[in-house]
Amino acid sequence: MPRSSPVKIACRLCHDRRVKCDRSEGVACSNCRNARRQCELIISRRGRRRKLLPLTTQADLGSDLSEASRNVPYEGLTSSNPPLTTHAQDDGDKPRQEPCFPAQGPSGKTPYVGDSSNLNYLIQQFGNPFVGTTDARPLQDHLHGAMLARLGRPTTQEIEKLHISTIERIKNQGAFDLPSQETSQALLDCYFHFSLAAPILDKSRFLVTLEEGKSSHLLLNAIYLAATINCSDSVIAGAGFVSRYAASLTFYQRAKSLYDAGYETDAIATIQSTFLMGYWWNGLLEHKDPWYWVGISVGMAQALGLHRIKSYNRLEEKERKLWRRLWWMAMDINLSMLLDRPPHVQGRLCNVPPLSEADFDQASGSQVGYPDEANTFVINAVQLARTVDRFFTIKFDEDSGHSQDICLEQISLCSSSLSPEFKSLSPSSSKWAILTHILYQEYRLLLHRSNPRFSLNTGPGTPTFEICAEIYNMLEILMASDLLYAAAASIVAPVLSVLSIYIVNIHRGDTGVRWISHHRAQLCMLILDKLQDRFPVLAAFYPIYESLLRRHSAGGQTQDGARVAEHSATGSSMGNGASQLDNESNPGSINPTAGLFDQVAQDGMGMAFPFSFPFGNLFEDVFLNSPSQPTAYCEDDISYP
């Protein structure tokens, strides 16, 4: 009996399992026979033209719809680029390479597709429905065009009108205005010099797109915003701005206008931009604060799959390194602990490997002067964040402090594994070694503060007091080495943290403790005064802390808690830039009618600190909810880790 010839189409079972099918005419394959399944042939689509239903009606809607679907750049429609992927010719059994997300297109942009997993599944299972069309636009353009085709001409015309009015509006707001070439170069040089602690860009690629005139306006304005925090006063003046605040606000408003309009179609550029926009915090009543913008960055990153290792398989090695750096920089455990909020990122749901030196090879080669110590600092910061995220949880009312104890032990282990140049500190230590130790101490301080056993114990002999002393000493080293501005973005939160603790100690300590705390608080106030023109939120915090410092300063309270005579004092403002602290001979002086913030402090701390950064509830606990008698610094039955 002649042997049946094998068929060219696999059965459904073998197709689903991705195994070879040995079915022949009239004879079931061996896999189906072993599985006792009916051997059914699949319907082959190879070589056939596949269309989506809406495409058959697109021509009927007229040229207006076609033009509308091609001229909405902020919706991802405008593109003169070739398709997202090049499909193989229909030659025999050669598999077809279907488009997938997330993936970088030929234009260098990564389109944002919120439902990428299901979309990938549909395309891989049923094929690209737009293959064979004469329109060679990328797949994401087809998807949006198909949606527009179903809406009808009146709706698409209205969409086009809205688009035109939006573009005109952001043009009128100056969103597309750029500084002079000289100013732009100065700002970019400043950004790349000070951004070593947050390497979220590929400098070489960015400069190429800038040279070609293809750089993202959103990303450019976000970079300019970050640069205005650290650039010299001469750059601000040369750009024509009356103040640093005006410069930062201008670039922030331009970036925000472009983001709100949805103008940027590159998802990676949007993630980078919103991360940088988190550098702007206009004041205590501004709800679009760093937490807001980091949340947007994290949300988009998760939608693209930056938290899943399988999303990196489609990328080139250079892109993988950039994505890993971008993902780990967006991990917000430190910010969430400072603000007493749940983190946007949960490490247990991520499987991306941590950063290593290999992730900086490309960046180091393309960025002249990119120091190895900066890479080490970033790696240590990521490792520390992962450690804290893995072991730290806050249960608020039910918190026993057990997770904080475990986390403190793990932090100690991480600290012991630091490289020799980072392990010990001296006045000659590098900026990166000092910032690494400040970061470790800041985490320790936050963990002790959130531990119910230690939260109100802040005086001498407690871990909190010792940690504050360590941070204070490192701040002195930075100031003595003229590194205050170079480390500005990394020390704002620690300065506010230790200043809060010292104000508490001034409030309830004995005479010696109050004098020591007041002396150290003065240095913290000096740092805030120097930095408040770079971080506008500090200008809002400064008078509040200044009022508290005067109110609870060393000369304003006797050992038994009785109030003594108060005298007037003058403070500083961001306008004059000079700190006028209390007279050393009478640091407790205060004028009850000196100003608004003095009155707020008199009327009630709860109104002054409903959302204080950091330690949102520290002053509430101490000044409002604590018993009338001062809380003891140390308790005999407590052992401090």
What is the tens place of the pLDDT at every residue in 401-414? 778 888 888 898 88
Helix (H) / strand (E) element for 47: namely none
Q: Is residue 150 part of a domain?
A: no
CA dihedral 581, 586, 590, 591 (to 10 degrees): -100
Which pLDDT belongs to residue 584? 37
Q: Could you report the per-residue pLDDT of 568-608, keeping only the tens digit for each? A: 333 443 444 333 333 333 433 433 333 333 333 333 222 22
Tell me the three-class secondary structure of 563-624, residue by residue: ECCCCCCCCCCCCCCCCCCCCCCCCCCCCCCCCHHHHHHHHCHHHHCCCCCCCCCHHHHHHH
Closest CA to 228 of 298, 286, 279, 295: 279
Q: Is residue 168 part of a domain?
A: no
pTM of the model: 0.71
Q: Is residue 180 part of a domain?
A: no
Domain region containing 32: 1-44
Decide if pLDDT at 507 tops 90. Answer: no
Which pLDDT belongs to residue 519? 92
Domain boundary among 516, 532, 554: 554
**Comparison of pLDDT for 56 and 306, the residue scoring more:** 306
Alpha-carbon distance 291 to 67, whole Å?
39
Q: What is the mean pLDDT of the chain?
A: 75
**Comparison of pLDDT for 265 and 452, the residue scoring more:** 265
Residue 396 banded pLDDT, cuts 50, 70, 90: low
DSSP letter at 40?
A: -
Q: Is residue 450 part of a domain?
A: yes
Of the chain, the percentage scoring pLDDT greater than 70 comes to 69
Q: Quick one: CA dihedral 261, 267, 273, 278, positive or negative? A: positive
Q: Could you report the per-residue pLDDT of 62-79, keeping only the tens digit for each? A: 344 344 333 333 333 333
Average pLDDT over residues 197-224: 91
Q: Is residue 455 part of a domain?
A: yes
DSSP letter at 264?
A: -
Q: Is residue 13 part of a domain?
A: yes
Q: Is residue 612 part of a domain?
A: no
Q: Could you report the per-residue pLDDT of 120-148, keeping only the tens digit for each? A: 777 777 677 776 666 666 777 777 777 87
| Total tally of structural domains belonging to the chain | 2
Q: Which of 212-221, 297-306, 564-573, 613-622 has the least mean pLDDT?
A: 564-573
Closest CA to 140 of 167, 116, 117: 116
